[in-house]
Structure 1
Amino acid sequence: MSDIFKDMQVKTGCEYISDLPSHKRIVWKELKKQNLSQYDKKQLEDFSNYVFGLSYETLQAVIKQQKGREKRV
């Protein structure tokens, strides 16, 4: 399994994993591009809570909602 913390650190250009919560907008853009099925569910939950302060279930619902809007535009 891949490590979403390290992957997002690289993709966002953050020097440290601890920088991710300070760059939520960039992380969000990158996260929407990712195939999240390559990550462990527990790790996705930890990542979502750490960066956004949300459960992964809530994060998934927002991503799904936004993808629906993007398709309509």
Structure 2
Amino acid sequence: MDYLDLLQWPVMIVTVAAAWLIGAQSARRRMVGFWVFILSNVLWVIWGLHSHAYALILLQFCLCAMNCRGLKKNADTVSDK
């Protein structure tokens, strides 16, 4: 059995959890959500390399850049309080 094939299912759950956290009203929870999203980006790249899903890998780099932007903007909100 190829365990890297199974990685997509827990990574999907991590991604959904990140989206849930991003929708929180608490700036700290949103901050955690962005970090969880970045973790999911890394995990999707690992799975994408294994599966030769190069469009998915490129998408994850683009999404990671947006998550880093959101992380920075949210950090400014957290530090204002």
> TM-score normalized by structure 2?
0.40
> TM-score normalized by structure 1?
0.43
Tell which structure's C-alpha radius of gyration is larger.
Answer: 2
Please state which structure has a larger fraction of its residues in helix: 2
